[in-house]
Amino acid sequence: MGETLSDFLAHTVGPVPAVAAAGLLLAVALVVQLRLRRCVPGVYWAVVVLVSVFGTMVADVAHVALGVPYAVSAGALAVALAALFVLWHRVEGSPAIDRVTGLRRELFYWAAVLLTFALGTAVGDLTAATLNAGYLLSGLGFAALIAVPAVAARARWVGPVAGFWWAYVLTRPLGASFADWAGVGPDRGGLGLGTGPVSLGLAAVMTVALVLSARAARTRRG
């Protein structure tokens, strides 16, 4: 949803106001999230959505406004993400998500999430536009690739933490590629549904999933 919503906002209100608004809303939501002493799903997922939008804008602005090639931004973001994981591991012992307790660990977590969204956008656009694979073929390619960390973790070639983050990174270009394919026009190889309607549809699906998940959790608690 971050990919199409970012594109919709950038074309509706303009890139600069869109980035500024997304950054401000993200900062506010993140402060609220960090001040909470327990998990509040609504706040958490609001931050996730805003991170996805802002992270997407970071990669897009670097390319469109600054002229940075997607290959360069993807490489730089990959290095930054790898460096973050190394630092996270050295400082906290492990980047495992079940250990995200306390302010410092949560800051590491959200920084990693932000970088994965930006990296996913750059990689997805790199394959779709720069390499001319198109959005649909890119999505199918990432759908196949995301099975690799699952197989590797199951075969114990990589640990569960590495397997999780490997798959997590790949979900970004996977989702973005299919969202772009649905939203862009036929002249760009898409279905032409529009970024606005696609964003609304994905938001509706996400909302339903969260409601059902909350109900299931309440049922399990009795």
Would you put residue 19 in left (φ > 0), alpha (ψ -120 to 50) or beta?
A: alpha
Residue 130 CA to its chain's centroid (Å): 20
pTM for this entry: 0.88
Of residues 89, 77, 87, 139, the one with CA closest to residue 114? 77
Give the three-state DSSP class for 66.
coil
- Give yes or no for a contact between 195 and 181, defined as CB atoms under 8 angstroms apart: no
**What CA–CA distance (Å, rounded) separates 169 from 158?**
15
Question: pLDDT means per 10 residues in the chain (222 residues)?
Answer: 78 83 92 87 89 86 83 93 94 84 90 91 90 93 92 88 90 90 89 90 87 78 64
Query: Per residue in 148-200, pLDDT tens?
Result: 998 998 888 988 888 999 999 899 899 889 999 998 889 888 899 998 898 88
